[in-house]
Structure 1
Amino acid sequence: MTDISVAERNRALVLHGFREFAAGNIEVLRPLLREDFVEHSPGNPSGRDAFMEWIAAAPVAGAALELKRVVADDEYVVVHYRMVTPEDERGTAVIDIWRLADGQIAEHWDVVQPVPEPSTTPNGMF
């Protein structure tokens, strides 16, 4: 039996969390987030409990999430996806960057951009 790399293990943890969250299981995040979880995105709170309360009320919790790619590099996992809400059929392009430590998410950054009209992005957003 071979050991999987840190990157592969972290990728699997984040991917499992993403899929469960996308299916409506918000509580899947609680054991994944460190208690002292640090959030770097403006307006989003740090700390597991505060973040859990915030994310449950955020638009992403009720959106359709279409995973496009996952990139893992040791302690960092990057998830690129399209978020679609009933109010916005075109959706939003999202990139989440997660830093893991000891099998839990320690930090988070994101980049969020509305998906523009197709004519303005001839090569597509994804």
Structure 2
Amino acid sequence: MKHDLELNKKNAVAFYKTAYLGEPEKAVALYVGDQYIQHNPLVGDGKQAFIEYFEEMSRDYPDKSIAFVRVIAEGDLVSLHTHQTWPDNDEYVTMDFFRFDDNGKIIEHWDAIQSVPAETKNGNSMY
């Protein structure tokens, strides 16, 4: 099956933003397929574990923000490159990968996160 790359990109951003900003149950209902395989070791596998993790994060850190720097799609995968700002101005770079099923629903997730350093040896930004 050929995937609608633009629609998958739009849905990955909407899914992430909806969950991150405090509505993970809505995000799962709208954008997740029959299963949800989680590779982040801090989050349990499956839809309910995802919802619980993001509900706790929203409750504990309501003033966080996210900006989407890049969105890349190929085949059944979408990658998000984000800039997150948390309380006390802690900043993080994240790279998330989502796998979509043939119905355009998210069914698998991988990610990596690192702090934005105050300075770099190369002088380049994280973006």
Identity of aligned residues (%): 24
Comparing 11-20 with 62-71, greater Cα deviation is found at: 11-20
Comparing 110-119 with 27-36, greater Cα deviation is found at: 27-36
AA matched with 2:14: H
Is residue 95–residue 112 contact of structure 2 (8 Å, CA) maintained in 1? yes
Deviations 1:74-124 (A, max 9, x none): 21000011111113x140110110001122111000010011013445110
Q: 2:23 aligns with which of 25, 28, 32?
A: 25
Give the CA RMSD over aligned residues.
Answer: 2.4
1:10 counterpart residue number: 8
1:96 counterpart residue number: 96
Normalising by the residue count of structure 1, what TM-score does the alignment of the two structures yield? 0.82
The CA distance in 2 between the partners of 1:18 and 1:73, in whole Å, is: 18
Is residue 55–residue 61 contact of structure 1 (8 Å, CA) maintained in 2? no
Normalising by the residue count of structure 2, what TM-score does the alignment of the two structures yield? 0.81
AA matched with 2:119: P
Unaligned runs of 5+ in 2: none
1:41 offset after TM fit, Å? 1.3
- How many residues align? The count is 122
Is residue 43–residue 53 contact of structure 2 (8 Å, CA) maintained in 1? yes
1:118 counterpart residue number: 119
